[in-house]
Amino acid sequence: MHNEATAIKKHRSGKPANFSMILPPEIMSRLEELSKATKRSKAYYVKEALLAYLEDLEDGYLALQRLNDKNAKYLSHEEAKKYLGL
């Protein structure tokens, strides 16, 4: 079965690629200050920010898919504790 979540995971492999974007001056200024203060590249922080944001978006998308699954089984709080041995 092919879905968007599967496509996202498959796309993670492969060669590095360049990406270009235009940033508002205030964001660019903050990025430059952080880069200078830490002696890390601006590209490093852009990549880290994108990775963190993408992980959150992917998690949210997966949760939404599971919530919309009509065949999903849900556990009560007590059932989940018992299942986890808590």
> DSSP of 15-75, one letter per residue?
----------HHHHHHHHHHHHHHT--HHHHHHHHHHHHHHHHHHHHHHHHHHT-TT----
Dump pLDDT digits (tens) for 10-43. 556 677 888 899 999 999 999 999 999 999 999 9
CA within 13 Å, CB half, 49: 9
Please tell me the pTM assigned to this model: 0.58
Distance CA 40, CA 75 (A): 46
